[in-house]
Amino acid sequence: MWIEAIVMPREERAPYRPAPRRDRRALHQAGCDESLQFRTDVLNYLQRHQLMNSVKWVSEPGCLPLVTLLCQQQVLEHLRKAPQFEAGRSAGLELNA
């Protein structure tokens, strides 16, 4: 069965520090660069663990470090065990007419 999984980087809790003011374009570009790098990291992890045959679809990079996968349950289980990722299943919407 194919499921939709969402993967984000695992973050360590740090004390709050206000971010310095930056140009919006530079901030957006930095987010896009981080998203592309994170997607590459996820794909490299899946290839190293020979899980790509259990992945049907991978989202394109955006402006947030987040990847959506259409995959088998075993892929989600592997990603949940990886210390660098926070992974979960997206909520399905069942529409009854």
Would you state the torsion angle of the CA atoms of residues 54, 72, 38, 26, taken in this order, to the nearest 10 degrees?
A: 120
Number of domains in the chain: 1
Given this model, what pLDDT does residue 20 score?
79
Contact present, 67 and 59 (Cβ < 8 Å): yes
pLDDT for 17 equals 83
Q: What value does the CA radius of gyration of the chain take, rounded to a whole number of Å?
A: 16
- For residue 71, being part of any structural domain is answered with yes
pLDDT at position 65, please?
A: 96
Residue 13 is predicted with a pLDDT of 81
In a domain, 44, yes or no: yes
Q: Is residue 15 a part of any domain in this protein?
A: no
Which range of residues forms the domain containing residue 69? Answer: 3-9+27-89
Q: What is the pLDDT along the chain (97 residues), one digit of tens a residue?
A: 899 999 999 988 878 888 778 888 998 999 999 999 999 999 999 999 999 999 999 999 999 999 999 999 999 999 999 999 999 999 866 655 5
The answer to whether residue 94 sits within a structural domain is no
Tell me, what CATH number does 58's domain have?
Answer: 3.30.70
**CA–CA dist 14, 79 (Å, integer):** 23
